[in-house]
Structure 1
């Protein structure tokens, strides 16, 4: 078990891929719901408006944008930039063109499964391994 300290409150917790503890994750989810509901009622609101009205920090709202949980309505708003080419984006970390290029690059590096593993002999028995190990009564 990997123990870490929560980046929000500092408490120790069992790390499961997220840098915050369960209590802070629950609070974070509640903040996200407030932002989501506000945006549903006020589409096109600015980052500052959403932050002021929901009392959720701008940094958290930008994280929701980076996680693609919410999206900027207008492309002219330059809050986010692709981490690869610096093009203005509406949500996430990369623009669609860079995502397509990276997929192509990754697929050319990774070998197809059929080439990576040698061919196995076909199984002839119908018993499972554990069944052959049982003692006969």
Structure 2
């Protein structure tokens, strides 16, 4: 069952469901924009287009095109030059949410934290030895 919410685009009241987070009017506008982008990309000469070229050619906002890509409505396998920015550094990627260098950096940081935790646990396990001098 849905609940009442305000549309984030037009601020109209609507019943929000798990499938749709915008009102019907804005959803219809998004569908028109999707059709525009899809028709643009279907043309043979536009299949090699970059994201900024698609924005210029269709007039659809970059954020909306990225939403279509992230939701899987535009398959990047068919369009080799399209991509979307990494969520950490902004470099263009074609899959997942992070680029390879950001993934490696995060794994490196996690391994470093694990090593530090192991060292601190080892230090806690060893009883403090005190030296007595006479």
TM range (shorter): 0.5 to 0.7
1:25 equivalent in alignment to 2:27:
yes
**What CA distance in whole angstroms lies between the structure 2 residues aligned with 1:78 and 1:29?**
21
Question: RMSD across aligned C-alpha pairs, in angstroms?
Answer: 2.8
Which segments of 5 or more consecutive residues in structure 2 lack a partner in the other structure?
Answer: 100-134
Superposition TM-score, scaled by structure 2 size: 0.57
Cα deviation digits, residues 24-56 of structure 1 (max 9, x gap)? 101100100000000001101111111111110
Q: CA–CA distance in 2 between the matches of 1:38 and 1:78?
A: 16
Residue 6 (str. 1) matches residue 11 (str. 2): no
Q: 1:32 to 1:92 in 2, by over 3 A?
A: farther
User: Which residues in structure 2 correspond to 1:76-95 (within 5 Å)?
Assistant: 79-81=84-86, 89-90=93-94
Q: TM-score, structure 1 length as denominator?
A: 0.56
- Say which SS state the counterpart of residue 5 (structure 2) adopts: strand
Partner secondary structure for residue 14 of structure 1? strand
Cα distance in 1 between the residues matched to 2:15 and 2:27: 13
| Contact preservation (8 Å) 1:38, 1:54 | yes
Question: Which one has the bigger helix percentage?
Answer: 2
How many aligned residue pairs are there? 93
Cα separation, partners in 2 of 1:92 and 1:25, compared to 1, 3 Å: farther
* Preserved CA contact (<8 Å) 1:70 1:91: no
CA–CA distance in 1 between the matches of 2:71 and 2:17? 17
After superposition, residues 1-137 of structure 1 pair within 5 angstroms as 1-17=2-18, 18-41=20-43, 42-72=46-76, 73-74=79-80, 79-81=84-86, 89-90=93-94
Could you tell me which residue of structure 1 aligns to residue 102 of structure 2? none
Looking at structure 1, the residues matched to 26 and 97 of structure 2 have their Cα atoms a distance apart, in angstroms, of: 24
Q: Which runs of 5+ in 1 are unaligned?
A: 96-137
How far apart, in 2, do the equivalents of 1:92 and 1:23 lie?
31
